[in-house]
Amino acid sequence: MILDLFRLDGQTALVTGASRGLGATMAEALAQAGADVILVARGDLSVTAKLVEAAGRRAFTFSADQASRPSIERLCAALGDSLPLPDILVNNGGTIRRANFTEFSLTDWDEVLETNLTAPFRLSQRVAAAWIAAGRGGKIIHTASMLSFQGGVRVASYTASKSALAGLTRLMANELAAKSINVNAIAPGYMATDNTAQLRADPVRNQAILDRIPAARWGQSADLAGATVFLASRASDYVNGHILAVDGGWLAR
């Protein structure tokens, strides 16, 4: 049956940035599809853990700061040791900083690049190498952005990181597809999350964005659930290096 291809029974997924927002929704969706979930974030993971457990799956929690290389290395070391080696890796954790380009600080540049690009690179490297050594495949999903396609304004490090993440997705697919490792990304459109709170609070910017979205609404985290399960499942076994926009039609406008 076709719906069986979307089931994740017997698998384990790792989701970064899982304490709230998009990451919490992705984790819950994967659990509802049958996967146990390793939840990673620097914030409180108890609420998301309860969502996973309510779906009848096991929740593992690990506190890590993606802006800290030692913290990510501790997570890498724990995989296959105190934590299961996942079958699915969702690199969702990210951050954003806003300032005019000529005033953008190196501190904000470094923190965003470390969080949004270097941490996903390192986690993917660790997990993919373990899969290859074990002779098994897996699924890697990055969270990209509309700014993987566009320039944006006042978010230099975010645009740079998300554009690079799209390129990394394609590079990884080129190298790993023949090893039964699927690497793809989801590019959320303008979503009602903490990262967009400033935009939604500005009446002019909020209306300008809504006028550009054919669906005429901000996206909700639940809009990513189906795309996440699809890219994590056997239903996407021949999908490689794709950036799936979930944007209400933003890019089509």
List CB contacts of 176: < 8 A, sequence separation 6 or more.
Answer: 128, 140, 182, 183
Q: Please give the single-letter amino acid code of residue 1.
A: M
Active site residue: 60, 62, 131, 158, which one? 158
Measured CA to CA, the distance from residue 165 to residue 183 in angstroms comes to 11
Backbone angles phi, psi at 132, to 5 degrees: -60, -45
Q: What is the DSSP string of 158-224?
A: HHHHHHHHHHHHHHHHHHHGGGTEEEEEEEE-SB-SGGGHHHHHSHHHHHHHHHH-TT-S-B-GGGG
In the numeric block, the tokens 């950036």 are attached to 243
Measured CA to CA, the distance from residue 17 to residue 90 in angstroms comes to 9
* Closest C-alpha among 12, 179, 7 to residue 87: 12
List CB contacts of 157: < 8 A, sequence separation 6 or more.
Answer: 97, 104, 108, 109, 110, 111, 112, 113, 116
158 a catalytic residue: yes
Neighbours of 207 (CB within 10 A): 10
Catalytic residues: 158
